[in-house]
């Protein structure tokens, strides 16, 4: 039994924001049908290619059934509409208006299936003066203020900085996931679907506490964290590496002061105490004291970490081309409906026969005919 068993998702997404959402739905048991153009979605070609496969697509495509379909072809367009009849969710992250131009916008699809949940992610949403602007993760980082906050936190006198991971794709992807799950719950009461419109810019703004600090105290969250006794916590260099620890005002800071035997904490005192010790010594001592602490680990160290192993946060994936590879595991630990994120990403069109047979009752001869005509 899985949490989303019986939920079928027609996944038209590409890049990162949409695929991370449907990746998690697949992990929770949804039947995710990844529908791609005949040449494949853009992430398949993200470098470097290893044995013709992109690490990016291998990460995001897991657990999905892969089919090809030309939505611009009238017959392909009709096939998609047939699929919608028995689907629960349509997920897309095209530029606003693209699905309408294809004749597959929400107003059309809800007439075909009033229970359909139509989820869309775009840079700036389907309303507002910026509705026609295109966006990827760095654009949303810039437009939401996140790049300015990166600069404010790391190098206030320098240029804005881009986060190294696609945070402005991932946060919107998870925002869409929350919206879809809420719409599924609402549908149990109303028996009707709805449109879930998520903008990258909106999703980033909605999770940034710095706006509250800025409007009320005229400073960012990071600046606030540097003030008072909290200011001595953070990143520190040990004799053989780095640690990060947190000292919120109150008893945790008092415990730390007792450990050091001082009445007042200064940067110099803390730096000296940490620098005289190895990373393992600092982590073990602060852990016993009750201070939140972690060594700064590289990616190999994280994968070898006993905590990550105990939580099954790295899983083996058997891919038909790559063989056995290691990918991040599913982070939500259900007591009854375990998630599984170990099924490999599909090859391009790998499940055409299986899906079109199972969902539409097509014969292998018909599927081959569609392939020859360039529909799939």
Calculate what percentage of the chain has a pLDDT beyond 70. Answer: 99
**pTM score, whole prediction:** 0.95
DSSP 58-121: HHHSTT-EEEE--TTSHHHHHHHHHHHHT-SEEEE-SPTTHHHHTT-SHHHHHHH-TT-EEEEE
Q: Is CATH 3.30.1540.10 the classification given to domain 225-300? A: yes
What average pLDDT does this structure show over 361-369? 97
Which pLDDT score, from 0 to 100, does residue 248 have?
86
Q: How confident is the model at residue 231 (pLDDT cuts 50, 70, 90)?
A: low
Q: Closest Cα to residue 197, out of 215, 180, 184?
A: 180
The pLDDT value given to residue 61? 98
pLDDT tens by residue, 289-336: 999 999 999 999 999 999 999 999 999 999 999 999 999 999 999 999
Q: Give the start-to-end residue ranges of the domains of the chain.
A: 8-209+346-372, 225-300
CATH 3.40.50.10540 fits 8-209+346-372, yes or no: yes
Q: Longest C-alpha distance within the chain, in Å?
A: 82
Q: What's the whole-number mean pLDDT along residues 157-164?
A: 95
Q: Where does the pLDDT of residue 228 fall: very low under 50, low under 70, confident under 90, or very high at 90 and above?
A: low
Q: Which residue would you say has higher pLDDT here, 46 or 231?
A: 46
pLDDT of residue 224: 85
Per-residue confidence band for 230, with pLDDT thresholds at 50, 70 and 90: low
């Amino acid at each position: 039994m899985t949490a989303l068993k019986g939920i079928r998702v027609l996944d038209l997404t590409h890049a990162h924001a949409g695929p991370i959402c449907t990746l998690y739905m697949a992990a929770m048991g949804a039947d995710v049908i990844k529908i791609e153009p005949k040449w494949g979605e853009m992430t398949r070609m993200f470098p470097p290619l290893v044995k013709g496969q992109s690490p990016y697509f291998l990460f995001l495509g897991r657990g999905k059934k892969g089919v090809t379909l030309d939505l611009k072809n009238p017959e392909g367009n009709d096939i998609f509409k047939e699929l919608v009849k028995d689907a629960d969710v349509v997920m897309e992250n095209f530029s606003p208006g693209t699905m309408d131009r294809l004749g597959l916008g929400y107003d059309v699809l809800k007439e075909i299936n009033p229970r359909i949940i139509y989820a869309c992610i775009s840079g700036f949403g389907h309303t507002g003066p910026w509705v026609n602007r295109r966006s990827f993760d760095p654009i949303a980082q810039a437009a939401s203020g996140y790049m300015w906050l990166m600069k404010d936190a790391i190098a206030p006198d320098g240029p804005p900085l881009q986060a190294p991971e696609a945070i402005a794709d991932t946060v919107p992807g998870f925002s869409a996931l929350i919206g879809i799950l809420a719409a599924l719950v609402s549908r149990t009461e109303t028996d009707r679907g709805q449109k879930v419109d998520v903008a990258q810019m909106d999703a980033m703004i909605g999770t940034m506490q710095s706006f509250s600090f800025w409007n009320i105290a005229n400073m960012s969250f990071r600046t606030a964290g540097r003030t008072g006794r909290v200011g001595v916590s953070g990143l520190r260099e040990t004799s053989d590496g780095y640690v990060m620890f947190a000292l919120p005002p109150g008893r945790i800071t008092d415990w730390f002061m007792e450990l050091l035997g001082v009445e007042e904490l200064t940067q110099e005192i803390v730096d000296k105490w940490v620098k005289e010790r190895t990373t393992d010594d600092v982590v073990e001592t602060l852990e016993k004291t009750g201070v939140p602490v972690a060594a700064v680990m590289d990616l190999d160290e994280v994968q070898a970490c006993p905590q990550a192993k105990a939580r099954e946060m790295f899983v083996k994936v058997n891919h038909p081309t790559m063989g056995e590879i290691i990918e991040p595991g599913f982070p939500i630990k259900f007591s009854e409906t375990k998630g599984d994120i170990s099924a490999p990403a599909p090859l391009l069109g790998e499940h055409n026969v299986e899906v079109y047979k199972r969902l539409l009752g097509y014969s292998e001869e018909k599927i081959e005919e569609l392939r020859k005509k360039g529909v799939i």
